Amino acid sequence: MKIDEYQKMYDLETHYWWHQGRRKIIEVLLKKYLTKTNSNVEILDLGCGTGINFEILRKFGKVEGIDYSPEALKFCQRRGITEVRQGDVENLTIPDNSYDAVTAFDILEHLKHDEKAIENVYRILKPGGVFFLLSPAYQFLWSRHDEALHHYRRYVLSDMHRKLNTAGFETIKRSYCIFFLFLPIVFYRLITSLWSDGQPKTSYVLLPGWLNGFFVLLLRLEAYVLKYFNFPFGVSILCIAKKHD
């Protein structure tokens, strides 16, 4: 990812609707599927970025983070987060059976060999450990946004399910998400692609406060629906998988 994109994320993550709403989805599903929640639970956040997700993850246990980018780790330190280190998700040197949970929120699409990374996650999870992942959906939504973030691909659920099963995981939940805002986002992506200047750039759109807040409310509602139901389409895919006991 470009260095200036980390700065943009750092500036927007605390209040921008996409990040706020997604953190609520993460929190609600962690609460449901991470049955062990105490200070002894060990969680690894792969591709921790600027560290914003530590705010949620620390509610469920002791958190460590890994990111390939030294620039990302500098932003973590600006948040006062020190439990992070540089590492390559495709070539983890972590011992087997080390963590109760591993999270990968919008990281697998950055990796050339995502299947190797998934195998590594299986290896470092303790028996019965849980893997939480979010990734962008549908290749037809590919845009300059993906290029700016150095993505290799977008996913469909069936493909991710296959990769998890091949690595040995039992998938306990799979759904699309960012469902309620799917049509506006698709429309925006299609329109901007027609008027693009060809330069890679992220598709942040600064909205009026009331509209940003409304979008946050929609995603909060979606988070609670996701506790009980799966969505048939959405801008992202969500998978929760378990390592066999």
CB atoms within 10 A of CB 171: 16
Instruction: Give pLDDT tens digits for 5-62.
Output: 778 888 888 999 999 999 999 999 999 998 766 668 999 999 999 999 999 999 999 9
CATH number of residue 237's parent domain: 3.40.50.150
For the chain, the average pLDDT equals 91
Indicate whether 192 pLDDT > 80.
no
Rounded to whole angstroms, how far apart are CA atoms 192 and 177? 22
Rounded to 10 degrees, the C-alpha dihedral 26/57/53/14 comes to: 90
Range of the domain at 133: 3-242
Domains contained in the chain, number: 1
- pTM as predicted: 0.92
Instruction: Give pLDDT tens digits for 86-127.
Output: 999 898 999 999 999 999 999 999 999 999 999 999 999 999
Rounded to whole angstroms, how far apart are CA atoms 21 and 88? 28
Nearest to 65 by CA among 90, 41, 82: 82
Share of the chain above pLDDT 90, in %: 73
Segment among 60-74, 132-146, 168-182, 215-229 with least mean pLDDT: 132-146
Nearest to 176 by CA among 236, 240, 135, 241: 236
